[in-house]
């Protein structure tokens, strides 16, 4: 058969086809897309706006400047802006979780078996899931930023539109890591319930044990240790530095990217190695 030649090209072909299949389901159903966006918008709009932390600081005592205190704690004088960035991370967490579920669906519907019987590489099958989750998250991150701006997000003093590219870059790394993690967890599963339970078990602690809602430095020591391992914290920090913080800490930003990058590389490698081993039983 002539299909055997042009291997690397056909690999990309298959990768794009499978990724596009996932994406198509999503952009062809705008209703589904908007529904998935409602949750982060609610969190951001209602929780972010209702927790008016700035108002806690008394303004009538001399020597206390609410703005300075807020900036020292959150890096911005506006809690809503701080919290909106946390929502971007949360959306990534939930979107990637579904990439893990979709492999269980594909298995149950027999689609996975069909794909496995074609010459598409096993790594490509997994990577298409990762890629589609990452692309979706990046798009959602963009939407959240736009909505947050409409709600009154305050850009940092050094904000440059090019920073958005940096935000997308770190979101991409985070999503590659997270979806590899979730896919590795669901790789052999034939039921929806088990992975669902595991993911719920992981998701909320991962979100709360991060700096999504509150700065880590004010947390108790034991929790800080957890937060400092959580890749979500590094992503949130990077996005904040790029978007809302007035004084950017470049050393920290570099660390953020390195940490999330290493996380993504390690988990993706594990995911792909596992897929080689376990997709064919």
Partner 1 sequence: MRVRKQTSNEREVKNVNVIEANDLTKRFGKLVAVDHVSFSIEEGEIFGFLGPNGAGKTTTINMLITILKPTEGKASVLGFDITKQDNNVRNVIGVVPQEYTADEDLTGLENVLLCADLYGIPRDVAKERAMDLLKFVELTDFKDKKVQTYSGGMRRRLELACGLINRPKVLFLDEPTLGLDVQTRAATWDYIRKLKKEFGMTLFMTTHYLEEADALCDRVAIIDHGKIIVIGSPGELKHNLGGDLITLTIKENDDVSGLIQKVEHVKEVRKEDGAYRVKAEFGEITTPFIIEALRKKGYTVTRLSLTEPTLNEVYLEYTGRSIRDAEESRESFAAQRMMRRRPR
By the rule CB under 8 A, 133 interacts with partner 1: no
Q: How far is the CB of 18 from partner 1 (least distance, A)?
A: 8
Task: Using the minimum distance from each CB to partner 1, give the nearer residue, 56 or 192.
Answer: 192
Task: Using the minimum distance from each CB to partner 1, give the nearer residue, 21 or 248.
Answer: 21
DSSP string, 110-163: THHHHHHTSS--HHHHHHHHHHHHHHHHHHHHHHHHHHHHHHTPPPPTT--TTH
What mask of x and - would describe binding to partner 1 in positions 1 to 20, judged by CB under 8 A? x-xx-x--xxx-xx-xxx--
Among 88, 97, 104, 115, binds partner 1 (CB under 8 A): 115
By CB under 8 A, what part of segment 251-280 binds partner 1? 280
DSSP string, 180-203: HHHHHHHTT---SHHHHHHHHHHH
DSSP string, 57-123: S-SSSTT--HHHHHHHHHSSS-HHHHHHHHHHHHHHHHHHHHHHHHHHHHHHHTHHHHHHTSS--HH
Among 114, 146, 200, 278, binds partner 1 (CB under 8 A): 114
Task: Using the minimum distance from each CB to partner 1, give the nearer residue, 18 or 85.
Answer: 18
Q: How far is the CB of 70 from partner 1 (least distance, A)?
A: 44
Decide: 216 and 227 in contact? Cβ < 8 Å.
yes
CA distance 90 to 82: 13
Q: How far is the CB of 92 from partner 1 (least distance, A)?
A: 22
Q: How far is the CB of 193 from partner 1 (least distance, A)?
A: 13
Decide: 66 and 106 in contact? Cβ < 8 Å.
no
Among 52, 68, 72, 108, binds partner 1 (CB under 8 A): 108
Q: Which residues are CB-neighbours of 133 under 8 A, at least 6 positions away?
A: 22, 95, 96, 98, 99, 175, 178, 179
Among 31, 50, 61, 117, binds partner 1 (CB under 8 A): 117
User: Which pair of structure tokens corresponds to residue 254?
Assistant: 């570099």
User: Which pair of structure tokens corresponds to residue 68?
Assistant: 């300075």
By the rule CB under 8 A, 118 interacts with partner 1: yes
Task: Using the minimum distance from each CB to partner 1, give the nearer residue, 250 or 281.
Answer: 281
Residue count at the site for partner 1 (CB under 8 A)? 32
- In the DSSP assignment, the letter for residue 244 is T
By the rule CB under 8 A, 61 interacts with partner 1: no
CA distance 232 to 174: 7
Q: How far is the CB of 195 from partner 1 (least distance, A)?
A: 15
Q: Which residues make up the interface to partner 1 (CB under 8 A)? A: 1, 3-4, 6, 9-11, 13-14, 16-18, 21, 24-25, 28-29, 105, 108-111, 113-120, 280-281
């Amino acid at each position: 058969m002539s299909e055997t030649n042009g291997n690397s090209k056909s690999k990309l072909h298959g990768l794009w086809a499978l990724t596009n299949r996932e994406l198509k389901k999503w952009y062809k159903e705008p209703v589904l897309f908007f529904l998935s966006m409602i949750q982060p918008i609610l969190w951001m709009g209602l929780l972010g706006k209702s927790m008016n932390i700035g108002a806690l600081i008394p303004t009538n005592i001399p020597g206390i400047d609410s703005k300075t205190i807020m900036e020292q704690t959150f890096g911005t004088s506006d809690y809503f802006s701080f919290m909106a960035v946390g929502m971007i991370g949360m959306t990534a967490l939930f979107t990637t979780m579904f990439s893990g579920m979709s492999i269980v669906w594909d298995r149950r519907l027999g689609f996975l078996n069909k794909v496995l019987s074609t010459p598409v590489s096993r790594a490509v099958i997994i990577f298409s899931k990762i890629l589609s989750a990452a692309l979706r998250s990046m798009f959602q991150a963009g939407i959240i930023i736009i909505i947050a701006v409409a709600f009154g997000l305050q850009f940092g003093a050094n904000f440059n539109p090019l920073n958005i590219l940096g935000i997308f870059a770190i979101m991409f790394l985070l999503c590659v890591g997270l979806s590899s993690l979730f896919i590795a967890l669901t790789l052999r599963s034939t039921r929806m319930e088990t992975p669902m339970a595991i993911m719920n078990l992981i998701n909320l602690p991962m979100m709360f044990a991060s700096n999504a809602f509150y700065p880590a430095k004010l947390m108790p020591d034991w929790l800080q240790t957890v937060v400092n391992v959580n890749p979500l914290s590094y992503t949130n920090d990077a996005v904040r530095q790029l978007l809302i913080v007035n004084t950017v800490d470049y050393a920290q930003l570099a660390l953020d990217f390195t940490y999330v990058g290493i996380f993504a590389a390690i988990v993706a490698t594990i995911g792909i190695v596992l897929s080689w081993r376990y997709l064919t039983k």
